[in-house]
Amino acid sequence: MTTEKQPTKIRSHLVAFFFKEMLGKEAHYHGKTAKSIKILPASSIGRILNLYYRTEYEEKEYFPFLIYITHDEKLAINQFKGVVYVEKNGVKSYLRLSEESSREVNNFLEDWFRISFVYYVDGFKSGKNMIAEAINCWIDKYELLEHGFSYETLRMLYYREKKKNANCGRLQYKIGNRILNYQ
């Protein structure tokens, strides 16, 4: 593990999820869609980003951030990319964090993705639909097949999360990101 700070990139399946679930400004050009999502310092994500940023750079101020997402529709498999910027004194620059801090930011976003998934499936099945139908709709909605997810991996995730008897249990206990082997 390196201690060199690198731009904080977001896992591709999380980009696909947040692309559709967060408000921001969109632009379309040459078969690509870009979205700029402002993250205020007082928001849940803003507080986490500021925690890591302020710790690594010994800053006293709180800053807004920008998640910049691109979706390239020209490729055979749609390509999603996301990177985080910090906005300091009106200037935007990459949020450069250590590998460990960047991984923890992604793990936080992963928690929201997975909690949303469990609530989505629960809400879907409460309308007398089947769990399989809910999972397949989730996969289609966020184009997750292209990111290495399958019906079976998400079904296992759903039942593992439900076994804990609390939909937000992953915020309470340390849970590995075993579905796609993220560490």
With the CA atoms of 43, 45, 47 and 50 taken in that order, what torsion angle do they form, in degrees rounded to the nearest 10? -130
Give the residue ranges of DSSP H helices in the chain.
12-21, 44-57, 99-126, 131-141, 151-163
Domain range list for the chain:
6-102, 110-171
pLDDT in tens, 84-110: 999 998 899 999 999 999 999 999 999
Instruction: Enter the pTM of the model.
Output: 0.83
Helix, strand or coil, per DSSP, at residue 167? coil
pLDDT in tens, 55-90: 999 989 999 999 999 887 766 555 788 999 999 988
Q: CA of 182: how far to CAs of 11, 16, 104, 175, in Å?
A: 9, 17, 11, 11
